[in-house]
Chains A and B, each alone.
Chain A
Amino acid sequence: MKNESLYLYPVWLRIWHWLNALLFLSLIFTGLNLQYAKINSPIIDFHTAILIHNISGITLTLNYLFFFILNIISGNYKHYLPKLKNFAKNMLLQLKFYLSGIFKNEEHPFETSANQKFNPLQQITYLNIMYALFPLLLITGWALLFPEFILNKLFETSGLLLTAVFHTTIGFLLSIFMIGHIYLATTGTTILSNFKSMLTGWHVHENHIVKSQLTEITIQQVKNENEN
């Protein structure tokens, strides 16, 4: 089976991805506890929540830098750049698949390959997430870590207030992305196949499974015929 699979996710990428996921969960949990802090919180106290949020945020920044550099060195960044030719058309095709084709058991319109890991919708989303929202989240997070240096006033409003609201909003949007991301990961060959791929590095192609299943069926049929 391995021979029919594609090795798409190298070790560094998998380490970054899962550490990113873990840190993000920790940041969502502690962030919510800070935003909705209350006296005698039965879950986690304010001081601990701040400590974990800060440590996770700093580690997330280092992890992002690790991703940023290795993504360039390895050439993996190319997968994030959408092909401009038929860009809108391709995106709509993918969207149409998620909104209708998937219910008719149609095949994924863009086959995952070593040259194109992401479909057009993934490309545009991941590009924005990783190179726009993520840096903004980290920058505002670091600003809140050193609030003394935040501009006192910006457009007649407290710089601290704007930074905090901005940070929370981006954090929220990325959390929503995370939910969508986890859900769409279940739309692989089997519900768990994409999760397995991200653990092993090997992407199992749907057609290969079908082919191998067919081969097994054919072999079985030949065996049966021979027996008869």
Chain B
Amino acid sequence: MKFLITALSLFILVSVKPAAKQNSLSTKDENQNCLRCHSMATLSYRDTTTGIIKSLAVSPKEFYNSNHKDLACIDCHSKDFQTFPHNAKLKNENLYCLNCHKDEPKFKQFHFQSIEKEFKQSVHYKKLGNKFTCFDCHDPHSFEIHARVSKDIKETVLYDNMICLNCHENNSKIKYLSGVILPSLTTSHSWLPHMDLHWKSVRCIDCHTSPNAPGVSHIILPKDKAVKNCVECHSRNSLLLQTLYKFESKQSRNKEGFLNAVILNNSYVIGATRNYYLNLLSFIIFGLTLIALSVHGILRTIAKKRKLK
């Protein structure tokens, strides 16, 4: 009997555990069918109308680190992709982020509806209309949220700036989308002191978006409306507090201003980085010096007058 119970328990353990594992693997397994081809870095085709080479590759490493890592390919893409060769009609599949992101309560904090409105006001949409979509900036196969969760602002800056640089450092993409060739970034930013340092320390969108947005602003501004006045960032109420440092602990910005945010992020911004305690100490030392010298001066004058008398 004992043997039977032990055997039964073992059977349950063995049969239940792998079942759970099998369930979590199922999405991956399912995706593996797609990734068998699509993980090839060179998988691409030439668009016959534009002549542009379009990649069909998905990096499994990037995908399984992305915010969409728990999704199966066919959660977004048509189930018909499961048959191979794929139906040619599937090429015209039209995906839209807000199909999933609009009504889900867990996405409320990201303000997707507001993003949709902001995007319509952006220079990208105004100039390119429907030719420009979310996917031109955000690759759903590798997208990660950064600014909200990052502990290293410099990593966020690099990640977010690469989104812009993917197109703006590569004029062929811009030419394909807009038909124009833009001046190089170093030429258009030559007015900016310590250009490289700025690019490593702040995001393109910190100057090139309107900060009036509940989440990460998607109102990408044309260059003549971008921030060009240094003091907008280099001052106590730095614009960066509404942009790059928006998601920093609000407590750290109360009376200490930039202090704690700066210590957390290890950055320095002239005019904005003000150490509350050092400031206070300097005012006290300055005040005491003036008082001490005034008292000394008065006493000295009195003594001198007495001597003359």
Residues of A within 8 A of B (CB): 34-39, 41, 45-47, 50, 98, 102-105, 147-148, 153, 157-158, 160-161, 164-165, 168-169, 172, 176, 179-180, 183, 186-187
Contacts and interface: CB of A to CB of B under 8 A. Distances in A.
A176 to B, nearest CB: 6
Given A103-B299, A105-B304, A169-B278, A161 B273 contact: yes
Contacts of A35: 270-271, 274
A38 B235 CA distance: 5
A47 B193 CA distance: 10
Given A50-B193, A164-B268, A104 B303 contact: yes
4 residue pairs, one from A and one from B, having the closest CB atoms: A37-B271, A158-B266, A161-B268, A105-B307
Nearest to A45: B231
Contacts of A176: 285-286, 289
13 contacts: A35-B274, A98-B296, A103-B303, A148-B196, A153-B266, A157-B263, A158-B267, A160-B268, A161-B273, A164-B268, A169-B278, A183-B297, A187-B300
B275 interface: yes
B300 A180 contact: no
Interface residues of B, number: 37
Contacts of B266: 153, 157-158, 161
Interface string B197-211: 100000000000000
Nearest to A102: B300
What secondary structure prevails in chain A residues at the interface with B? helix
Contacts of B262: 161
A179 B289 contact: yes
A40 to B, nearest CB: 8
B188 interface: no
